[in-house]
Amino acid sequence: MKQNILDAMSQRILLFDGAMGTEIQKFNPEPKDFPDGKDGFNDGLILTHPEWIRQIHREYLKAGADCIETNSFGSNKLKLDEYGFGEKTVEMNQKIAALASEVSSEFSDKPRYVIGSMGPTGFLPSSNDPDLGQISLSEIKDAYALQAEGLILGGVDALLIETSQDILEVKMAIEGAQEAMKKIGKKVPLIANVTLDQYGKMLLGTNVQAAYTTISDMGIDVFGLNCSTGPIEMTPSVRWLDEQDDLKLLVVPNAGMPENEGGHAVYKMTPEKMADALKDFITKYKQVRIIGGCCGTNPAHIAALRKVIDEADRK
């Protein structure tokens, strides 16, 4: 029987995978590759090109990842509604999770974990924006509850709320996930990430201290930081979080700060430089139990992170 992921991270540093979207782009998808020709509907590839997603998961696992995230970043009901698939939220998330579980089962050298990815809805309930702020909290919670239900039924080992820009949305996602667990009668570990800019604040101005205080006592198991910046910019926030000596921490940065080249975001931190930066986190901060890569990272970055974790374990 596979060790619980929380027990595993208490004994060793766990390694997440890298970016999904940029790996999908390597297949040069065209509108015809997506369900109903809906260009950019990456999560919908579970229906049209599941072999692409299998290959991406497999490459990250070969690179040494302990955990792979499901290709469900945009599969809450509110996002799926935009593509006409909202009524299939549970079904799609279950399929996406089952595919990741199937691939992870191919690797028997050590325990591998499937993490249910739950990205933002695209709304900002804390704002007064006439478009993004005009949505009820119950709608957001229900959207996440359906997604979490599908992911749990599909066999994930943990749920991950990630790339969150609005702390109120994070609260609703946590409540929705807990509602799904209660409905199904199965509890899985819950990880809640926030996304901070280079000044340590979320999009609407919430700083890391306020974000942590707001959700740390809501029953989450791990608090994390992901996306937006590289590891260097995350350092002050990671240091403060580690000083709280409370929840286990996840740190999943981009491959450096994005640079604009021809209207496109480019991430230039090499695997070696990123590994050196994250090595500091796992050697200096005892609460950091999970590292991985977000935008701009690929299997080469994950292989470099695997090396620094293994080296730290040998000391």
pLDDT band at 313 (very low <50, low <70, confident <90, very high): confident
**Residue 315 pLDDT exceeds 70:** no
Residues recorded for the chain: 315
Q: Is the pLDDT of residue 26 over 70?
A: yes
Q: What confidence tier does 210 reach under pLDDT thresholds 50, 70, 90?
A: very high
Mean pLDDT calculated for residue range 8-32: 97
Residue matched to tokens 């990842």: 65
- Dist CA 191 CA 222 (whole Å): 5
What does the pLDDT read at residue 245?
Answer: 95
pLDDT score of 167 more than 70: yes
User: What is 4-50 written as a DSSP string?
Assistant: PHHHHHHHS-EE----SHHHHHTT---GGGSGGG-TT-GGGHHHH-H
**In whole angstroms, what is the distance from residue 164 CA to residue 147 CA?**
16
- Res 222: pLDDT: 98
pLDDT attached to residue 85 = 98
The pLDDT of residue 130 = 83
Closest CA to 24 of 2, 3, 7, 40: 40
d(CA 88, CA 257): 36
Q: How confident is the model at residue 136 (pLDDT cuts 50, 70, 90)?
A: very high
The secondary element (H helix, E strand) that includes residue 312 is helix 299-314
pLDDT digits (tens, 9 = 90+) for 229-279: 999 999 999 999 999 999 999 999 999 999 999 888 899 999 999 999 999
| Residue percentage of the chain with pLDDT more than 70 | 99
**pLDDT tens-digit profile of 83-128?**
999 999 999 999 999 999 999 999 999 999 999 999 999 999 999 8
% of residues, the chain, pLDDT over 90: 94
Are 196 and 208 spatial neighbours (Cβ–Cβ below 8 Å)?
yes
- Judged against a pLDDT cut of 90, whether residue 304 lies above it is answered with yes
